[in-house]
Amino acid sequence: MKKSLRSQRRLICSGNRKDFDLVNHQYVRVAAILVMVSGCVLSGPRNAQAGPPQGLLGMSLMEAKKTDVFTWFHLVESGPEKDATGRRVVFHPEGKAFRKLVTVKVTLDSQDRVDAIDLLLARSFVNDKKQGVFASDIAKSLLLSAIPNSDQPAIKVLTDEIQSNEKSDATVLSAEPGAETPYKASPGYLTYLGKRYLYTQDLTGSTLRMENLKQDDTDLLRIAVALKGKAD
């Protein structure tokens, strides 16, 4: 008899596999465990869900912090920054194992509304054959959450490619079929893979920028979504 999806969910911690019962009836949800203090991870990512219809851009910071991408990945404030464009708040995953691998920077206007969101992923994290599946999970989740639903069709190829995670060796258990991806990788996905330096895309009311860069001798992938006229 075929095992149910629920029975296949397993927790991997310190090399030992245990049965783990998730309180979720639609998706194999991994990302929350990814950022737990224990550093344990599950054997596959959740299927990222679309964010609020209007997207995070223009939303108050208080509202944004209540959305799925912040709560599910346990993103916590690590301190404010200031730059030429306004106030910036920095977030990291709560779990120590991933705190240095993932950074989210939210740029705010004078009324504490979101002008831009930057996701910085360590290139070593994205490229890792085991953990890369979790990097793709948060990358896709940010794109789905930040960009309004009306612009989602324009980035569907990219988000499907990221979800496909074809370079990862991690086991992926999903309640839904895997994303279909084009035979030839798109420019955005090539940038995600580190095979292209820069990719930009103009959307109806926002811009998407992906680039590979180096900060403090660390290779990073930057995924930035901003209101038009607010990108740095």
Q: What is the pLDDT along the chain (232 residues), one digit of tens a residue?
A: 434 333 333 332 333 333 333 333 333 344 434 433 344 443 344 555 555 657 899 999 999 999 989 999 999 998 777 666 568 999 999 988 889 999 999 999 989 999 999 999 999 999 998 889 999 999 999 999 999 888 999 999 999 999 886 554 444 444 444 455 555 899 999 999 999 999 999 999 899 999 999 999 999 999 999 998 876 6
The contacts of residue 85 (CB under 8 Å, 6+ apart) are: 107, 115, 116, 230, 232
* Residue range 32-73, pLDDT digits in tens: 344 333 444 433 445 555 556 578 999 999 999 999 899 999
pLDDT at 184: 83
pLDDT at 49: 52
34 in Cβ contact with 95 (< 8 Å): yes
The Cα-based distances of 217 to 25, 128, 132, 156, 176 in angstroms read 43, 18, 20, 33, 39
pLDDT at 52: 60
Say which amino acid occupies 229: G
225 in Cβ contact with 171 (< 8 Å): no
Our count of domains for the chain comes to 1
In a domain, 46, yes or no: no
Q: How far apart are the first and last CA of the chain?
A: 55
Residue 53's Cβ-count burial label (10 Å; 0-12, 13-18, 19+) is exposed
pLDDT at 212: 97
Say which amino acid occupies 165: N
In a domain, 98, yes or no: yes
In a domain, 189, yes or no: yes
In a domain, 24, yes or no: no
In a domain, 19, yes or no: no
Percent of the chain residues topping a pLDDT of 70: 66
In a domain, 13, yes or no: no
The rounded distance, in Å, linking the Cα atoms of 114 and 60 is 6
In a domain, 42, yes or no: no
In a domain, 27, yes or no: no
197: containing domain:
51-164+179-227
